[in-house]
Amino acid sequence: MVTTNSTSSNAASLAGNTGTAAVATQAATGENRDMFTKLLVAQIQNQDPLEPQDPATYVNQLSQLSQTEALQNLSSMTTTNASLLQSLQTLAMGGQVGSEVTVATSSVKLDGEKINGSITLLGASSNTDLILTGTDGRQHTVSLGAHGSGEQSFTIDPDALGLAPGTYAIQAKPADGSAPQIEVAARLNSVRVTGAGVVLQVAGLGEVDPSAITGFNGKTGT
């Protein structure tokens, strides 16, 4: 498990991990290729290449051997490229640590700090409610009032709303019954590399997948 706090942080470690993964992949691919090659070669050697039982058999077997090696080489390249891309993604994300990011989310972690976010309405709404549901199942409604189509910003102030610290599911309910995506702006605290991939630690949200990031808003003043 690695934590990245800058673009250059842990670059050597990431490169080493990628190299190790590539070597392991190449070794496994080499073993598979040798297995298929031996099977096909054995099949070819068990017949007279000048007088095969079927005139097309010899050519077909040589073609199969070539195709098998080409596919295995392609698979090896794809795996290696995927590892390199993950490392590049981690380094790029690491350079954004400390920046404000916008994250699409369905839950928030309240700890007393205000949370700013927005929803995008498809049409005008006479009233839009934010529904926060605690782990105890209790719902808390925040009315955002009337708003035209487009982006509608909101702020959740836990102290003013009397919300205890904890994790809350969050959803928006406009008057038209639609379910717009909720985006929250928060600070990117760290980037971690796990066996399952890259994980981002975002203030007020906890761990999020990189695919949930909808925008990078730059670094704010401390």
Count of structural domains within the chain? 2
In a domain, 2, yes or no: no
Residues 25 and 47 in one domain: yes
* Rounded mean pLDDT, 11-20: 46
Which three-class secondary structure state does DSSP give residue 126? coil
Residues 70 and 104 in one domain: no
* Rounded mean pLDDT, 8-24: 46
In a domain, 204, yes or no: yes
Residue 18 has pLDDT above 50, yes or no: no
Provide the CATH number for the domain around residue 211.
2.60.40.4070
Residue 121 lies in domain: 99-219
Residues 60 and 163 in one domain: no
* Residue owning tokens 């079927």: 54
How high is the pLDDT of residue 143? 92
How high is the pLDDT of residue 167? 93
What is the average pLDDT value for the chain, to the nearest integer? Answer: 76
Q: Per-residue pLDDT tens for 144-166?
A: 999 999 999 999 999 998 999 99
In a domain, 162, yes or no: yes
In a domain, 3, yes or no: no
The torsion angle over the Cα atoms of residues 64, 68, 74 and 77, rounded to 10 degrees, is: -150
* Rounded mean pLDDT, 84-110: 78
Indicate the range of 12-16, 71-75, 95-99, 199-203 predicted with least confidence: 12-16
Domain end (from 92, 112, 143): 92
Residues 104 and 204 in one domain: yes
Domain end (from 60, 77, 92): 92
Residues 112 and 145 in one domain: yes
| Partners of residue 129 on adjacent β-strands | 143, 173
Please, which pLDDT band fits residue 47 given cuts at 50, 70 and 90? low
In a domain, 190, yes or no: yes
Global pTM exceeds 0.75: no
Whole-angstrom Cα distance, residue 89 to residue 7?
A: 10
How high is the pLDDT of residue 12? 43
**Of all helices (H) and strands (E), which one includes residue 161?**
helix 158-161
- Amino acid (1-letter code) at residue 161: L
Residues 207 and 134 in one domain: yes
Domain end (from 44, 76, 92): 92
Which three-class secondary structure state does DSSP give residue 206? strand
Q: Per-residue pLDDT tens for 193-203?
A: 777 777 888 98
Which three-class secondary structure state does DSSP give residue 211? helix
* Rounded mean pLDDT, 117-143: 93
* Rounded mean pLDDT, 188-213: 84
* Residue owning tokens 């690491």: 94
